[in-house]
Structure 1
Amino acid sequence: MTQAIPHTVQGFSKMSKEKKLKWLENHFLSEYPESIEILKKYTLADANDQIIYDRIAENPVANYTLPYGIAPNFVINDKAYAIPMVTEESSVIAAAAGAAKFWMNRGGFQCKVIDSVKLGQIHFYWNGDYETLFSLKSIFLEKLKTLSKSLTENMEKRGGGILDLELKRFPEEPGYYQFLIHFNTCNSMGANFINSILENYAQNLKDIFLDLLPQSTSSPEIVMSILSNYTPDCLVRAEVSCPIDELQSKHLSGKEFCEKFSRAIKIAEIDTYRATTHNKGIMNGIDAVVMATGNDFRAIEASAHAYAAKEGKYQSLSHCRIEDGHFYFWMDIPIAVGTVGGLTNIHPLAHISLQILGQPSAENLMQIIASAGLAQNFAAVKSLITTGIQQGHMKMHLLNILNHIKSSNEETQQAVAYFKDKVVSFSAVRNYILAIRND
């Protein structure tokens, strides 16, 4: 008989929150009794409000709090926005807001949704003839629409539903096929909608094969059916542009700035190491808005990085060109989001975020999110080719350092004033605070 491993537990999910905390205290936090009290503090005082958060995830014992900030001065398609952002990285909101202010009087961000198609897949194995199956593709689509009528009725009333069906096969895996199904989910992200339809169809697929291919000696073996988070046709473009001369700074002429900026972008287009960090900066801005609006930042991250590698090599999501005395900087990126359903309706701050943004449609929100990502990228590259990234980043990081060394309010005020024109580093800040305390 296998001996039980210490500190494993049965029925943890059925315990009350108090019992979960007690179990943690007894088995994993016995040396840190203060940590249990901290966990208790990170619970809302109003029990009814706390229930909302407790129902979002499994086994909740506290709330993990991140800053909720605002990046003002965004002008997107000639309309002003203040963009809510949730992030733990201190320089993200400042950088986005700084870039927004820079472009505010230069036409702002011009955006358009190229398409808003979302995808689902039914994966199956079959030993029949591909050409015969392919010839029946349109009939399979009609069968799918008929079978899922009760599920799609409300979505169709809003202008959405099932759009198309592709049949795909993969030579490297004989006998493997998939139906790649295209959806329009209007203002919802649509994950549950898509998955419900796919599973309904998969359950009936063997009967449909028997009906359409009665001579076939093989029936399909269903492996799985699920949406795809790669949405290359749920695509939005964000762009900024201005005359070259308007990019002049105390560091560089407009021409010099544009040349260095375009070279930095070119490096991210050809070098995967640089492209990874470059695109991470874009996602700093995108994820912060996605989280603030209650959408799935992990799905959007996965799709964006897959899109960055769509040509067989991972490269920059953003691009730049200099033409006829003008600077153009733009990005095409897949962003599948919703403004109804899911956390957008459940999470109070997600609901407020959408109010701040003027109750946008899903396509409007795609444009807002893309603008935040492009703003973040512009600010980062601008810093890299002028002052360097650390100067601005470490200034914003100063308060984090002061928090880490537990400075008092008075010490914090003195340190902020002292480092206004000095290089910030952990050791420099720590030594300064120690010097104050030793006076």
Structure 2
Amino acid sequence: MPPKTSCIPRFRDLDVASRRRLLAEMCGIDERELDALLDSGGIGAATADSMVENAVGTLALPFGVALNFRVNGADYLVPMAIEEPSVIAAASHASKRVRAGGGFHATADEPLMAAQVEVHEVPDPPAAARRLGDAREELLQAANSAAPGLGARGGGARDLEVRDLGSGFVLVQVLVHVCDAMGANLLNTIAEALGPRVAALAGGAMGLRILSNYCDRRLVHASARIPVEAFGCARAGGREAALGVVNASRFAELDTHRAVTHNKGIMNGIDAVAIATGNDFRAVEAAAHAYASRGGTYGPLATWRLVDGGETLEGRLTVPLSLGTVGGALRTHPGARLALRLLDVRSASELAMVAASAGLATNLSALRALATEGIQRGHMALHHRATR
């Protein structure tokens, strides 16, 4: 097997069969394993029927591999499932530029998610909040008893918060370390187990018991630094192109309408990785946009600046990401399992760092195109190819 690298020159010029052979060789897998991605999109009618209700068939998406990614010193072939032309090419091109500055650097917070128990018609919310706070250890122990497998893997309930929401509503929120899972089923199990006791302590009517998809304790941070001298193109020099990216970033910071489109470009990369790996991209989207609004107005998730006396273009992205490498669709979808094999990540946090880097890459590529040649030139060329 050749050394692991994400740089494959002229990969796009190969036909599909040749790409599959080369990918199998580089990743050390049997080419027949890639058959999971043929024709049916990885699943047949019987599997689809086991995954959703009222199934009548499947709807496939193109599954591609973004190249040139280096994150925290390691190379990754990044699987992406998406219907939009140019996104995979854009991610690959931007990542090649970022390699000139050492690649992407990323960190991930602990995978903490919140299980929520809501109680309403509480006659004395302040007193209820005190009783619930005093029962903290009891409730945490009950949470861990409801999901014993988490503790065996090093996870489990970590903290408990109580909030008086007003209008007779009191909320108990349990923060749970979900290890390598996205965590939805685990959190729902914990919330439902705690519901009756929380309602009794609060003295009100038991309401909703469910996870929160707003994983603001599960943030991922990605950054990229590119030498300005390596950022030019035929239509703009390096400094001109870099200044264009910085000004586009500032525009997104000043205008909500632009910030929405700016963030859509980021989610092009993140969602494509989430879908390819069988993750819940709707949860990812909801959390990202809530985080973009955390200050009271909607703003960009990534910003770009010139640093080092104007010699380096630096981008920084922070986004909440609840991705898993176990459970969910991975149990039934062979295409999603294959995507994780191609990616070769060892934890959900590592997957999240790669996905965030993909988001920063697609953002950079879009801003660079806007600042130099306009977004339509490359995008529409690929669109026309797809619709011929």
Would the TM-score normalized by the shorter structure come out above 0.5?
yes
Query: For the residues of structure 1 that align with 2:114 and 2:143, how far apart are their CA atoms?
Result: 16
Matched to 1:296, the amino acid is D
Query: For the residues of structure 2 that align with 1:352 and 1:184, how far apart are their CA atoms?
Result: 26
What percentage of aligned pairs have identical amino acids? 38
Q: Tell me which of 162, 165, 173 is aligned to 1:167.
A: 162
* Structure 1 position 138, deviation (Å): 4.1
Equivalence for 1:5: none
C-alpha distance 45-120 of structure 1, shift in aligned 2 (>3 A): closer
Equivalence for 2:4: none
Q: SS of the counterpart of 1:303? A: helix
Alignment of 1:16-415 (within 5 A): 49-171=44-166, 174-209=167-202, 219-325=203-309, 326-402=312-388
Q: Deviation string for 1:301-320 (max 9, x for gaps)?
A: 00001110000001111012
Matched to 2:94, the amino acid is A
Aligned residues: 349
* Structure 1 position 208, deviation (Å): 4.0
Q: Is the 8 A contact 1:115 1:236 kept in 2?
A: no
Matched to 2:322, the amino acid is A
Q: SS of the counterpart of 1:148? A: helix
Q: Is the 8 A contact 1:43 1:63 kept in 2?
A: no
C-alpha distance 206-134 of structure 1, shift in aligned 2 (>3 A): closer
Q: Which moved more, 1:187-196 or 1:243-252?
A: 243-252
Matched to 2:159, the amino acid is D
C-alpha distance 382-45 of structure 1, shift in aligned 2 (>3 A): closer
* Structure 1 position 220, deviation (Å): 1.2
Equivalence for 1:435: none
Query: For the residues of structure 2 that align with 1:340 and 1:62, how far apart are their CA atoms?
Result: 25
* Structure 1 position 126, deviation (Å): 4.4
Q: Is the 8 A contact 2:131 2:201 kept in 1?
A: no
C-alpha distance 295-44 of structure 1, shift in aligned 2 (>3 A): closer
* Structure 1 position 128, deviation (Å): 4.2
C-alpha distance 255-399 of structure 1, shift in aligned 2 (>3 A): closer
TM-score (norm 1): 0.76
Larger Rg: 1
Matched to 2:314, the amino acid is Y
Query: For the residues of structure 2 that align with 1:314 and 1:243, how far apart are their CA atoms?
Result: 30
Runs ≥4 residues deviating over 3 A: 42-46, 126-139, 206-209
* Structure 1 position 45, deviation (Å): 12
Q: Is the 8 A contact 1:331 1:374 kept in 2?
A: yes
Query: For the residues of structure 1 that align with 2:58 and 2:41, how far apart are their CA atoms?
Result: 12
Query: For the residues of structure 2 that align with 1:59 and 1:248, how far apart are their CA atoms?
Result: 52
Query: For the residues of structure 2 that align with 1:291 and 1:379, how far apart are their CA atoms?
Result: 21
Q: Is the 8 A contact 1:108 1:240 kept in 2?
A: yes
Q: Is the 8 A contact 2:140 2:157 kept in 1?
A: yes
Matched to 1:59, the amino acid is N
Equivalence for 2:31: none
* Structure 1 position 139, deviation (Å): 3.4
Q: Deviation string for 1:196-238 (max 9, x for gaps)?
A: 11011102334445xxxxxxxxx21112111111111110011
Q: Is the 8 A contact 1:87 1:288 kept in 2?
A: yes
Q: Deviation string for 1:112-164 (max 9, x for gaps)?
A: 11342111211112444444334344433222233334322210111111111
* Structure 1 position 390, deviation (Å): 0.3
* Structure 1 position 52, deviation (Å): 1.8
Query: For the residues of structure 2 that align with 1:44 and 1:395, how far apart are their CA atoms?
Result: 27
Equivalence for 1:26: none
C-alpha distance 44-295 of structure 1, shift in aligned 2 (>3 A): closer
Q: Is the 8 A contact 1:71 1:84 kept in 2?
A: yes
Q: SS of the counterpart of 1:123? A: strand
Q: Deviation string for 1:268-304 (max 9, x for gaps)?
A: 1111111111111111111110000000000000000
* Structure 1 position 49, deviation (Å): 5.0
Query: For the residues of structure 2 that align with 1:61 and 1:170, how far apart are their CA atoms?
Result: 43
* Structure 1 position 108, deviation (Å): 0.8
C-alpha distance 45-167 of structure 1, shift in aligned 2 (>3 A): closer
TM-score (norm 2): 0.85
Unaligned runs of 5+ in 2: 1-37
Q: Is the 8 A contact 1:337 1:365 kept in 2?
A: yes
Q: Per chain length, whose mean CA-contact separation is higher, i.e. which structure has more relative contact order (CA < 8 Å, sep 6+)?
A: 2
Unaligned runs of 5+ in 1: 1-41, 210-218, 403-439
